Chain A
Protein backbone atom coordinates (compact mmCIF):
# COMPACT_ATOMS: atom_id res chain seq x y z
CA UNK A 1 0.00 0.00 0.00
CA UNK A 2 2.70 2.48 1.04
CA UNK A 3 6.33 1.74 0.21
CA UNK A 4 9.44 3.84 0.78
CA UNK A 5 12.50 2.73 -1.18
CA UNK A 6 15.82 4.26 -0.14
CA UNK A 7 14.24 7.65 0.44
CA UNK A 8 16.48 10.59 1.34
CA UNK A 9 15.54 14.23 1.63
CA UNK A 10 18.13 16.96 1.80
CA UNK A 11 16.74 20.50 1.94
CA UNK A 12 18.46 23.27 -0.03
CA UNK A 13 19.80 24.65 3.26
CA UNK A 14 21.68 21.40 3.75
CA UNK A 15 19.43 19.87 6.42
CA UNK A 16 19.13 16.10 5.98
CA UNK A 17 15.50 15.36 6.91
CA UNK A 18 15.51 11.71 5.83
CA UNK A 19 18.36 9.35 5.00
CA UNK A 20 17.89 6.06 3.18
CA UNK A 21 14.46 5.25 4.59
CA UNK A 22 12.97 1.87 3.63
CA UNK A 23 9.46 1.19 4.83
CA UNK A 24 6.60 -1.07 3.85
CA UNK A 25 3.09 -0.47 5.14
CA UNK A 26 0.43 -3.01 4.17
CA UNK A 27 -3.24 -2.24 3.55
CA UNK A 28 -5.22 -2.06 6.78
CA UNK A 29 -2.21 -1.52 9.03
CA UNK A 30 -2.04 0.93 11.92
CA UNK A 31 1.45 2.45 12.23
CA UNK A 32 2.90 4.87 14.74
CA UNK A 33 5.87 6.96 13.59
CA UNK A 34 7.75 8.14 16.66
CA UNK A 35 10.93 10.05 17.31
CA UNK A 36 12.17 13.37 18.61
CA UNK A 37 11.25 16.67 16.98
CA UNK A 38 13.20 17.10 13.74
CA UNK A 39 13.65 13.37 13.23
CA UNK A 40 11.80 13.61 9.90
CA UNK A 41 8.35 12.28 10.90
CA UNK A 42 6.37 15.04 9.19
CA UNK A 43 8.58 14.95 6.11
CA UNK A 44 7.84 11.25 5.83
CA UNK A 45 4.07 11.82 5.95
CA UNK A 46 4.24 14.73 3.51
CA UNK A 47 5.94 12.51 0.95
CA UNK A 48 2.98 10.13 0.99
CA UNK A 49 0.55 12.82 -0.15
CA UNK A 50 3.18 14.43 -2.38
CA UNK A 51 3.58 17.65 -0.47
CA UNK A 52 7.28 16.91 -0.55
CA UNK A 53 9.45 15.09 -3.08
CA UNK A 54 12.44 13.03 -1.97
CA UNK A 55 15.90 14.03 -3.13
CA UNK A 56 16.62 10.33 -3.72
CA UNK A 57 14.52 7.19 -3.67
CA UNK A 58 10.93 6.29 -4.50
CA UNK A 59 7.62 6.42 -2.66
CA UNK A 60 4.80 4.16 -3.80
CA UNK A 61 1.16 4.62 -2.86
CA UNK A 62 -0.81 1.68 -4.19
CA UNK A 63 1.15 0.72 -7.29
CA UNK A 64 1.90 4.33 -8.14
CA UNK A 65 5.34 5.94 -7.75
CA UNK A 66 4.16 9.29 -6.39
CA UNK A 67 7.59 10.88 -6.79
CA UNK A 68 7.06 10.70 -10.54
CA UNK A 69 3.42 11.77 -10.47
CA UNK A 70 2.73 14.66 -12.88
CA UNK A 71 1.59 17.68 -10.86
CA UNK A 72 -1.89 17.71 -12.40
CA UNK A 73 -2.43 14.19 -11.00
CA UNK A 74 -1.60 15.24 -7.42
CA UNK A 75 -5.18 16.34 -6.54
CA UNK A 76 -6.49 12.89 -7.46
CA UNK A 77 -3.86 11.24 -5.25
CA UNK A 78 -4.93 13.47 -2.36
CA UNK A 79 -8.57 12.48 -2.72
CA UNK A 80 -7.44 8.95 -1.85
CA UNK A 81 -5.50 10.10 1.23
CA UNK A 82 -7.06 11.80 4.24
CA UNK A 83 -4.76 14.02 6.29
CA UNK A 84 -5.23 15.31 9.84
CA UNK A 85 -3.01 17.84 11.64
CA UNK A 86 -2.20 19.01 15.12
CA UNK A 87 -3.77 22.44 14.43
CA UNK A 88 -6.95 20.97 12.80
CA UNK A 89 -6.85 23.44 9.87
CA UNK A 90 -10.58 24.22 10.00
CA UNK A 91 -12.04 27.32 8.37
CA UNK A 92 -13.23 29.54 11.23
CA UNK A 93 -16.17 31.12 9.39
CA UNK A 94 -17.69 27.80 8.38
CA UNK A 95 -19.71 25.42 10.55
CA UNK A 96 -18.56 21.85 11.20
CA UNK A 97 -20.94 20.67 8.47
CA UNK A 98 -19.67 23.30 6.00
CA UNK A 99 -16.05 22.51 6.80
CA UNK A 100 -16.63 18.87 5.89
CA UNK A 101 -18.76 19.74 2.86
CA UNK A 102 -16.03 22.13 1.68
CA UNK A 103 -13.79 19.17 0.82
CA UNK A 104 -16.52 17.83 -1.46
CA UNK A 105 -17.49 21.17 -2.98
CA UNK A 106 -13.96 22.06 -4.04
CA UNK A 107 -13.34 18.66 -5.60
CA UNK A 108 -16.44 18.93 -7.72
CA UNK A 109 -18.50 16.22 -6.03
CA UNK A 110 -22.09 15.93 -7.30
CA UNK A 111 -24.21 18.33 -5.27
CA UNK A 112 -26.99 15.87 -4.42
CA UNK A 113 -24.50 13.41 -2.87
CA UNK A 114 -22.95 15.98 -0.54
CA UNK A 115 -25.48 15.94 2.36
CA UNK A 116 -25.47 12.15 2.59
CA UNK A 117 -21.66 11.90 2.54
CA UNK A 118 -21.11 14.74 5.01
CA UNK A 119 -23.70 13.26 7.34
CA UNK A 120 -22.04 9.87 7.23
CA UNK A 121 -18.56 11.30 7.91
CA UNK A 122 -19.82 13.32 10.87
CA UNK A 123 -21.63 10.24 12.18
CA UNK A 124 -18.40 8.21 12.07
CA UNK A 125 -16.68 10.75 14.33
CA UNK A 126 -19.81 11.04 16.51
CA UNK A 127 -20.39 14.72 15.95
CA UNK A 128 -23.71 14.89 14.10
CA UNK A 129 -25.29 16.82 16.95
CA UNK A 130 -22.65 19.57 16.66
CA UNK A 131 -22.89 19.86 12.88
CA UNK A 132 -24.07 23.46 12.96
CA UNK A 133 -21.48 24.71 15.44
CA UNK A 134 -18.59 26.91 14.39
CA UNK A 135 -15.06 25.80 15.28
CA UNK A 136 -14.76 28.37 18.10
CA UNK A 137 -17.85 26.85 19.72
CA UNK A 138 -16.24 23.40 19.78
CA UNK A 139 -13.67 21.91 22.14
CA UNK A 140 -10.24 20.93 20.82
CA UNK A 141 -11.22 17.28 20.66
CA UNK A 142 -14.41 18.12 18.79
CA UNK A 143 -12.50 20.28 16.34
CA UNK A 144 -10.12 17.41 15.69
CA UNK A 145 -13.13 15.16 15.09
CA UNK A 146 -14.41 17.60 12.48
CA UNK A 147 -11.03 17.56 10.77
CA UNK A 148 -11.05 13.73 10.84
CA UNK A 149 -14.55 13.78 9.33
CA UNK A 150 -13.27 16.05 6.58
CA UNK A 151 -10.33 13.70 5.97
CA UNK A 152 -12.74 10.76 5.70
CA UNK A 153 -15.40 12.36 3.53
CA UNK A 154 -13.78 11.08 0.33
CA UNK A 155 -13.69 7.62 1.94
CA UNK A 156 -9.95 7.31 1.39
CA UNK A 157 -8.12 4.00 1.83
CA UNK A 158 -5.36 5.85 3.71
CA UNK A 159 -5.58 8.22 6.67
CA UNK A 160 -2.49 10.16 7.78
CA UNK A 161 -2.39 11.99 11.11
CA UNK A 162 0.48 14.35 11.91
CA UNK A 163 0.63 14.78 15.72
CA UNK A 164 -3.18 14.59 15.96
CA UNK A 165 -3.11 14.80 19.76
CA UNK A 166 -0.44 17.50 20.03
CA UNK A 167 -2.92 20.15 21.16
CA UNK A 168 -5.18 17.96 23.27
CA UNK A 169 -5.32 16.92 26.92
CA UNK A 170 -4.60 13.24 27.75
CA UNK A 171 -8.22 12.12 28.02
CA UNK A 172 -9.23 13.74 24.75
CA UNK A 173 -6.07 12.42 23.10
CA UNK A 174 -7.09 8.94 24.08
CA UNK A 175 -10.56 9.44 22.58
CA UNK A 176 -9.10 10.65 19.32
CA UNK A 177 -6.69 7.71 19.13
CA UNK A 178 -9.59 5.34 19.88
CA UNK A 179 -11.46 6.95 17.01
CA UNK A 180 -8.48 6.47 14.67
CA UNK A 181 -8.21 2.83 15.80
CA UNK A 182 -11.93 2.36 15.08
CA UNK A 183 -11.50 3.84 11.62
CA UNK A 184 -8.56 1.46 11.12
CA UNK A 185 -10.74 -1.50 12.10
CA UNK A 186 -13.09 -0.60 9.25
CA UNK A 187 -10.20 -1.24 6.86
CA UNK A 188 -8.52 2.12 6.47
CA UNK A 189 -4.72 2.18 6.61
CA UNK A 190 -3.77 4.64 9.36
CA UNK A 191 -0.35 6.25 9.86
CA UNK A 192 0.09 8.44 12.95
CA UNK A 193 3.12 10.47 13.97
CA UNK A 194 3.22 11.24 17.66
CA UNK A 195 5.17 12.23 20.72
CA UNK A 196 2.57 10.75 23.00
CA UNK A 197 4.27 7.88 24.84
CA UNK A 198 1.24 6.77 26.84
CA UNK A 199 -0.93 6.29 23.78
CA UNK A 200 1.67 4.33 21.86
CA UNK A 201 2.37 2.12 24.85
CA UNK A 202 -1.33 1.42 25.45
CA UNK A 203 -2.22 0.58 21.89
CA UNK A 204 0.71 -1.77 21.16
CA UNK A 205 0.58 -1.27 17.42
CA UNK A 206 3.44 -1.29 14.95
CA UNK A 207 6.02 1.38 15.85
CA UNK A 208 8.55 2.91 13.45
CA UNK A 209 11.14 5.04 15.24
CA UNK A 210 13.03 7.74 13.37
CA UNK A 211 16.19 9.40 14.57
CA UNK A 212 18.07 12.01 12.57
CA UNK A 213 16.21 10.98 9.45
CA UNK A 214 16.93 7.27 9.75
CA UNK A 215 14.68 4.36 10.73
CA UNK A 216 16.29 3.03 13.90
CA UNK A 217 13.48 0.67 14.89
CA UNK A 218 10.51 -1.00 13.21
CA UNK A 219 8.62 -3.19 15.62
CA UNK A 220 5.23 -4.94 15.64
CA UNK A 221 3.23 -4.39 18.85
CA UNK A 222 5.92 -1.95 19.96
CA UNK A 223 6.26 0.58 22.72
CA UNK A 224 7.18 4.24 22.41
CA UNK A 225 10.73 3.54 23.55
CA UNK A 226 12.91 0.47 23.00
CA UNK A 227 12.18 -2.22 25.57
CA UNK A 228 14.81 -3.34 28.02
Chain B
Protein backbone atom coordinates (compact mmCIF):
# COMPACT_ATOMS: atom_id res chain seq x y z
CA UNK B 1 0.00 0.00 0.00
CA UNK B 2 2.73 2.44 1.03
CA UNK B 3 4.80 1.34 -1.94
CA UNK B 4 1.91 2.09 -4.23
CA UNK B 5 1.42 5.52 -2.69
CA UNK B 6 5.10 6.29 -3.05
CA UNK B 7 4.97 5.19 -6.67
CA UNK B 8 1.96 7.41 -7.41
CA UNK B 9 3.63 10.32 -5.69
CA UNK B 10 6.81 9.86 -7.76
CA UNK B 11 4.79 9.69 -10.98
CA UNK B 12 2.88 12.82 -10.01
CA UNK B 13 6.14 14.56 -9.20
CA UNK B 14 7.50 13.59 -12.61
CA UNK B 15 4.40 15.08 -14.27
CA UNK B 16 4.81 18.32 -12.32
CA UNK B 17 8.46 18.63 -13.28
CA UNK B 18 7.65 18.06 -16.94
CA UNK B 19 4.83 20.62 -16.78
CA UNK B 20 7.07 23.21 -15.15
CA UNK B 21 9.83 22.56 -17.72
CA UNK B 22 7.31 23.00 -20.52
CA UNK B 23 6.15 26.28 -19.02
CA UNK B 24 9.71 27.61 -18.78
CA UNK B 25 10.64 26.37 -22.24
CA UNK B 26 7.82 28.39 -23.79
CA UNK B 27 8.89 31.58 -22.01
CA UNK B 28 7.14 34.53 -23.56
CA UNK B 29 4.27 32.44 -24.87
CA UNK B 30 3.49 31.25 -21.35
CA UNK B 31 3.69 34.83 -20.09
CA UNK B 32 1.27 35.95 -22.82
CA UNK B 33 -1.12 33.12 -21.96
CA UNK B 34 -1.03 33.97 -18.27
CA UNK B 35 -1.46 37.72 -18.84
CA UNK B 36 -4.44 37.31 -21.17
CA UNK B 37 -5.95 34.85 -18.74
CA UNK B 38 -5.47 37.46 -16.01
CA UNK B 39 -7.38 40.08 -18.01
CA UNK B 40 -10.27 37.68 -18.55
CA UNK B 41 -10.35 36.71 -14.87
CA UNK B 42 -10.03 40.33 -13.75
CA UNK B 43 -13.12 41.27 -15.77
CA UNK B 44 -14.96 38.21 -14.50
CA UNK B 45 -14.00 38.87 -10.87
CA UNK B 46 -14.86 42.59 -10.83
CA UNK B 47 -18.12 41.90 -12.60
CA UNK B 48 -19.03 39.22 -10.06
CA UNK B 49 -18.33 41.61 -7.18
CA UNK B 50 -20.39 44.34 -8.82
CA UNK B 51 -23.25 42.01 -9.64
CA UNK B 52 -23.38 40.54 -6.16
CA UNK B 53 -23.53 44.00 -4.61
CA UNK B 54 -26.19 45.20 -7.03
CA UNK B 55 -28.29 42.14 -6.28
CA UNK B 56 -27.79 42.74 -2.57
CA UNK B 57 -28.82 46.36 -2.99
CA UNK B 58 -31.87 45.39 -5.03
CA UNK B 59 -32.90 42.93 -2.31
CA UNK B 60 -32.67 45.55 0.40
CA UNK B 61 -34.47 48.20 -1.61
CA UNK B 62 -37.13 45.69 -2.56
CA UNK B 63 -37.78 44.75 1.05
CA UNK B 64 -38.20 48.40 1.91
CA UNK B 65 -40.53 49.22 -0.93
CA UNK B 66 -43.80 50.75 0.13
CA UNK B 67 -47.00 51.35 -1.72
CA UNK B 68 -48.32 54.88 -1.36
CA UNK B 69 -52.02 55.46 -2.01
CA UNK B 70 -52.95 59.12 -2.36
CA UNK B 71 -56.47 59.88 -1.18
CA UNK B 72 -59.02 62.09 -2.87
CA UNK B 73 -58.96 65.60 -1.43
CA UNK B 74 -61.57 66.27 1.23
CA UNK B 75 -61.90 62.78 2.61
CA UNK B 76 -63.33 63.01 6.14
CA UNK B 77 -62.27 61.05 9.18
CA UNK B 78 -65.09 58.47 8.98
CA UNK B 79 -64.45 57.67 5.32
CA UNK B 80 -60.79 57.49 6.13
CA UNK B 81 -61.31 54.83 8.80
CA UNK B 82 -63.43 52.57 6.57
CA UNK B 83 -60.92 53.07 3.78
CA UNK B 84 -58.12 52.00 6.10
CA UNK B 85 -60.05 48.89 7.16
CA UNK B 86 -60.67 47.94 3.55
CA UNK B 87 -57.05 48.25 2.58
CA UNK B 88 -55.98 46.27 5.63
CA UNK B 89 -58.19 43.39 4.51
CA UNK B 90 -56.43 43.10 1.13
CA UNK B 91 -54.35 39.88 1.08
CA UNK B 92 -50.56 40.15 1.60
CA UNK B 93 -50.84 43.56 3.23
CA UNK B 94 -48.74 43.77 6.37
CA UNK B 95 -49.31 47.23 7.68
CA UNK B 96 -51.19 50.37 6.68
CA UNK B 97 -50.24 53.76 8.04
CA UNK B 98 -52.16 56.97 7.55
CA UNK B 99 -50.06 60.01 6.65
CA UNK B 100 -51.96 63.29 6.79
CA UNK B 101 -51.15 66.08 4.39
CA UNK B 102 -49.61 68.04 7.29
CA UNK B 103 -47.25 65.24 8.19
CA UNK B 104 -46.37 64.86 4.52
CA UNK B 105 -45.46 68.52 4.27
CA UNK B 106 -43.40 68.36 7.41
CA UNK B 107 -41.47 65.41 6.00
CA UNK B 108 -40.83 67.23 2.77
CA UNK B 109 -39.61 70.24 4.72
CA UNK B 110 -37.28 67.99 6.67
CA UNK B 111 -35.77 66.53 3.51
CA UNK B 112 -34.86 70.05 2.40
CA UNK B 113 -33.28 70.74 5.79
CA UNK B 114 -33.12 74.50 6.19
CA UNK B 115 -32.13 75.42 2.65
CA UNK B 116 -35.72 76.14 1.65
CA UNK B 117 -38.58 77.11 3.87
CA UNK B 118 -41.75 75.73 2.29
CA UNK B 119 -44.11 77.79 4.45
CA UNK B 120 -42.70 80.90 2.84
CA UNK B 121 -43.27 79.58 -0.69
CA UNK B 122 -46.73 78.05 -0.37
CA UNK B 123 -49.81 79.59 1.18
CA UNK B 124 -51.79 76.33 1.07
CA UNK B 125 -50.61 72.72 1.50
CA UNK B 126 -50.71 71.10 -1.98
CA UNK B 127 -49.99 67.57 -0.75
CA UNK B 128 -52.82 65.01 -0.40
CA UNK B 129 -53.49 62.68 2.53
CA UNK B 130 -52.01 59.28 1.89
CA UNK B 131 -51.76 55.68 3.06
CA UNK B 132 -48.39 53.98 3.32
CA UNK B 133 -48.83 50.27 2.75
CA UNK B 134 -46.19 47.61 3.37
CA UNK B 135 -46.54 44.03 2.17
CA UNK B 136 -45.17 40.74 3.44
CA UNK B 137 -43.68 39.75 0.10
CA UNK B 138 -42.31 42.36 -2.34
CA UNK B 139 -43.19 40.06 -5.24
CA UNK B 140 -46.92 40.56 -4.42
CA UNK B 141 -46.72 44.33 -4.81
CA UNK B 142 -48.30 44.51 -8.30
CA UNK B 143 -51.36 42.47 -7.13
CA UNK B 144 -51.81 44.59 -4.02
CA UNK B 145 -51.49 47.77 -6.09
CA UNK B 146 -54.30 46.52 -8.35
CA UNK B 147 -56.54 45.93 -5.34
CA UNK B 148 -55.76 49.26 -3.72
CA UNK B 149 -56.59 51.10 -6.96
CA UNK B 150 -60.12 49.65 -6.81
CA UNK B 151 -60.82 51.06 -3.34
CA UNK B 152 -63.13 54.10 -3.61
CA UNK B 153 -61.55 57.27 -2.27
CA UNK B 154 -58.08 56.31 -3.55
CA UNK B 155 -56.98 58.67 -6.26
CA UNK B 156 -53.54 57.44 -7.24
CA UNK B 157 -51.22 54.61 -6.27
CA UNK B 158 -47.43 54.66 -6.67
CA UNK B 159 -44.67 52.37 -5.48
CA UNK B 160 -40.90 52.06 -5.75
CA UNK B 161 -41.05 49.71 -8.70
CA UNK B 162 -39.04 52.03 -10.89
CA UNK B 163 -36.09 52.00 -8.54
CA UNK B 164 -36.02 48.23 -8.51
CA UNK B 165 -36.54 47.99 -12.25
CA UNK B 166 -33.61 50.30 -12.80
CA UNK B 167 -31.41 48.34 -10.43
CA UNK B 168 -32.35 45.11 -12.15
CA UNK B 169 -31.73 46.65 -15.57
CA UNK B 170 -28.32 47.84 -14.38
CA UNK B 171 -27.52 44.36 -13.08
CA UNK B 172 -28.51 42.91 -16.44
CA UNK B 173 -26.32 45.39 -18.31
CA UNK B 174 -23.35 44.66 -16.07
CA UNK B 175 -23.89 40.95 -16.47
CA UNK B 176 -24.19 41.17 -20.25
CA UNK B 177 -21.22 43.44 -20.93
CA UNK B 178 -18.97 41.55 -18.53
CA UNK B 179 -20.03 38.22 -20.03
CA UNK B 180 -19.02 39.62 -23.40
CA UNK B 181 -15.66 40.80 -22.08
CA UNK B 182 -15.02 37.55 -20.24
CA UNK B 183 -15.92 35.48 -23.29
CA UNK B 184 -13.64 37.57 -25.50
CA UNK B 185 -10.59 37.49 -23.25
CA UNK B 186 -11.13 33.92 -22.09
CA UNK B 187 -11.33 32.97 -25.77
CA UNK B 188 -8.07 34.76 -26.55
CA UNK B 189 -6.42 33.24 -23.47
CA UNK B 190 -7.55 29.77 -24.57
CA UNK B 191 -6.18 30.28 -28.07
CA UNK B 192 -2.82 31.30 -26.62
CA UNK B 193 -2.82 28.38 -24.18
CA UNK B 194 -3.66 26.00 -27.04
CA UNK B 195 -0.63 27.34 -28.88
CA UNK B 196 1.79 27.21 -25.94
CA UNK B 197 0.83 23.63 -25.22
CA UNK B 198 1.17 22.89 -28.91
CA UNK B 199 4.73 24.24 -28.79
CA UNK B 200 5.51 22.04 -25.81
CA UNK B 201 4.09 19.04 -27.63
CA UNK B 202 6.19 19.82 -30.69
CA UNK B 203 9.32 20.29 -28.59
CA UNK B 204 8.70 16.89 -27.02
CA UNK B 205 7.46 15.18 -30.15
CA UNK B 206 10.35 12.72 -30.21
CA UNK B 207 9.83 11.82 -26.58
CA UNK B 208 6.09 11.32 -27.16
CA UNK B 209 6.79 9.11 -30.15
CA UNK B 210 9.08 6.92 -28.06
CA UNK B 211 6.63 6.87 -25.16
CA UNK B 212 3.91 5.59 -27.47
CA UNK B 213 6.31 3.09 -28.97
CA UNK B 214 7.34 1.54 -25.66
CA UNK B 215 3.75 1.36 -24.44
CA UNK B 216 3.11 4.39 -22.24
CA UNK B 217 -0.63 4.93 -21.86
CA UNK B 218 -2.17 7.97 -23.51
CA UNK B 219 -3.03 9.45 -20.13
CA UNK B 220 0.53 9.09 -18.94
CA UNK B 221 1.61 11.05 -22.00
CA UNK B 222 -1.12 13.66 -21.61
CA UNK B 223 -0.79 14.50 -17.92
CA UNK B 224 2.25 16.80 -18.10
CA UNK B 225 0.55 18.89 -20.79
CA UNK B 226 -2.70 19.09 -18.86
CA UNK B 227 -0.77 20.18 -15.80
CA UNK B 228 1.08 22.82 -17.81
CA UNK B 229 -2.25 24.30 -18.95
CA UNK B 230 -3.63 24.02 -15.43
CA UNK B 231 -0.56 25.77 -14.07
CA UNK B 232 -1.04 28.64 -16.51
CA UNK B 233 -4.68 28.91 -15.39
CA UNK B 234 -3.66 29.01 -11.72
CA UNK B 235 -0.88 31.49 -12.36
CA UNK B 236 -3.48 33.77 -13.94
CA UNK B 237 -6.05 33.28 -11.16
CA UNK B 238 -3.87 33.77 -8.09
CA UNK B 239 -2.67 37.36 -8.65
CA UNK B 240 -6.16 38.38 -9.78
CA UNK B 241 -7.67 36.99 -6.59
CA UNK B 242 -5.06 38.74 -4.48
CA UNK B 243 -5.55 42.04 -6.30
CA UNK B 244 -9.37 41.96 -6.27
CA UNK B 245 -9.52 40.96 -2.61
CA UNK B 246 -7.28 43.80 -1.58
CA UNK B 247 -9.10 46.29 -3.82
CA UNK B 248 -12.49 45.18 -2.53
CA UNK B 249 -11.54 45.34 1.13
CA UNK B 250 -10.04 48.80 0.71
CA UNK B 251 -12.94 49.92 -1.51
CA UNK B 252 -15.63 48.78 0.94
CA UNK B 253 -13.82 50.49 3.79
CA UNK B 254 -13.47 53.74 1.83
CA UNK B 255 -17.06 53.74 0.56
CA UNK B 256 -18.40 53.00 4.02
CA UNK B 257 -16.81 56.18 5.34
CA UNK B 258 -17.95 58.30 2.38
CA UNK B 259 -21.49 56.93 1.88
CA UNK B 260 -22.38 55.31 5.21
CA UNK B 261 -25.92 54.23 4.26
CA UNK B 262 -24.87 52.35 1.06
CA UNK B 263 -25.39 48.65 1.73
CA UNK B 264 -22.31 46.66 0.64
CA UNK B 265 -21.54 42.98 1.06
CA UNK B 266 -18.93 42.31 3.72
CA UNK B 267 -15.65 40.99 2.21
CA UNK B 268 -15.82 37.59 3.98
CA UNK B 269 -19.34 37.08 2.59
CA UNK B 270 -18.37 37.45 -1.04
CA UNK B 271 -14.60 37.08 -1.57
CA UNK B 272 -14.28 33.30 -0.98
CA UNK B 273 -17.04 32.65 -3.50
CA UNK B 274 -15.48 34.90 -6.13
CA UNK B 275 -12.06 33.34 -5.49
CA UNK B 276 -13.53 29.89 -6.03
CA UNK B 277 -15.15 30.93 -9.31
CA UNK B 278 -11.89 32.51 -10.49
CA UNK B 279 -9.78 29.48 -9.63
CA UNK B 280 -12.20 27.10 -11.35
CA UNK B 281 -12.50 29.32 -14.40
CA UNK B 282 -8.71 29.67 -14.62
CA UNK B 283 -8.25 25.93 -14.26
CA UNK B 284 -11.00 25.36 -16.82
CA UNK B 285 -9.32 27.67 -19.35
CA UNK B 286 -5.98 25.94 -18.83
CA UNK B 287 -7.24 22.38 -19.00
CA UNK B 288 -9.59 23.24 -21.86
CA UNK B 289 -6.74 24.75 -23.87
CA UNK B 290 -4.52 21.73 -23.21
CA UNK B 291 -7.26 19.29 -24.14
CA UNK B 292 -7.92 21.05 -27.44
CA UNK B 293 -4.21 21.05 -28.23
CA UNK B 294 -3.77 17.40 -27.26
CA UNK B 295 -6.83 16.41 -29.23
CA UNK B 296 -5.48 18.12 -32.32
CA UNK B 297 -2.14 16.38 -31.90
CA UNK B 298 -3.39 12.89 -31.09
CA UNK B 299 -6.33 12.87 -33.50
CA UNK B 300 -5.14 14.76 -36.56
CA UNK B 301 -7.67 15.08 -39.33
CA UNK B 302 -7.09 12.37 -41.92
CA UNK B 303 -5.72 14.12 -44.97
CA UNK B 304 -8.41 14.15 -47.62
CA UNK B 305 -7.82 12.14 -50.74
CA UNK B 306 -6.34 14.35 -53.42
CA UNK B 307 -5.96 13.93 -57.15
CA UNK B 308 -2.54 14.39 -58.79
CA UNK B 309 -3.09 18.15 -59.04
CA UNK B 310 -3.63 18.41 -55.30
CA UNK B 311 -7.35 19.09 -55.50
CA UNK B 312 -9.62 17.23 -53.08
CA UNK B 313 -10.77 14.09 -54.82
CA UNK B 314 -14.47 13.86 -55.48
CA UNK B 315 -16.50 10.75 -54.84
CA UNK B 316 -15.80 8.12 -57.47
CA UNK B 317 -18.27 8.40 -60.30
CA UNK B 318 -20.46 5.36 -60.64
CA UNK B 319 -19.70 3.66 -63.98
CA UNK B 320 -23.39 3.35 -64.82
CA UNK B 321 -23.93 6.99 -64.02
CA UNK B 322 -21.33 7.88 -66.54
CA UNK B 323 -22.94 5.67 -69.15
CA UNK B 324 -26.28 7.27 -68.55
CA UNK B 325 -24.89 10.74 -69.17
CA UNK B 326 -23.72 9.65 -72.56
Task: Show the binding face of A for B, using Cβ within 8 Å.
Answer: 12-14, 49, 71-72, 75-79, 83, 89, 91, 102-103, 105-108, 110-111, 150, 154
Contacts and interface: CB of A to CB of B under 8 A. Distances in A.
Interface stretch (B6-14, B124-132, B190-198): B6-14
Contact of B216 (A71, A89, A106, A111): A106
Contact of A102 (B210, B304, B313): B210
A77 B215 contact: yes
Which among A77, A78, A150 has the greatest number of chain B C-beta atoms within 10 A?
A78
B218 A75 contact: yes
A75 B216 CA distance: 6
A106 B211 contact: yes
A12 B303 CA distance: 7
A75 B215 contact: yes
B283 to A, nearest CB: 25
Nearest to B208: A106
B295 to A, nearest CB: 13
A70 to B, nearest CB: 12
B206 A91 contact: yes
Contacts of B211: 106
Contacts of A76: 215
Contacts of B60: none
A106 B305 contact: no
B208 to A, nearest CB: 10
Contact of A110 (B7, B215, B216): B7
Which among B14, B214, B305 has the greatest number of chain A C-beta atoms within 10 A?
B214
Interface string B275-304: 000000000000000000000000000111
A13 B214 contact: no
B165 to A, nearest CB: 56
A150 B304 contact: no
Interface in B205-227: 206-207, 209-218, 220-221
Contact of B304 (A12, A83, A105): A12
A219 B217 CA distance: 38
Contacts of A14: 305, 313
B14 A12 contact: no
A53 B78 CA distance: 97
Contacts of B324: none
B309 to A, nearest CB: 13
Contacts of A12: 302-305
Contact of A72 (B217, B221, B304): B217
B150 interface: no
Q: Can you list the 10 inter-chain pairs with the closest CB atoms, starting with the nearest?
A: A78-B215, A79-B215, A103-B214, A106-B216, A75-B215, A75-B217, A12-B305, A106-B211, A107-B215, A107-B216
A75 B211 CA distance: 9
7 contacts: A12-B304, A72-B217, A75-B212, A78-B214, A103-B215, A107-B215, A107-B220
A73 to B, nearest CB: 10
Contacts of A105: 14
Nearest to A147: B210
Contact of B209 (A89, A108, A154): A89
Contacts of B89: none
A154 B215 CA distance: 10
Contacts of A89: 206, 209-210, 213
A106 B220 contact: yes
Contacts of A71: 218
Contacts of A75: 212, 215-218
Contacts of B3: 110
Contact of B213 (A13, A78, A110): A78
A212 B47 CA distance: 66
B214 A150 contact: yes
B306 interface: yes
Contacts of A91: 206-207, 210
Nearest to A14: B305
Contacts of B206: 89, 91
Which among A12, A91, A106 has the greatest number of chain B C-beta atoms within 10 A?
A106
Contacts of A13: 303, 305-306
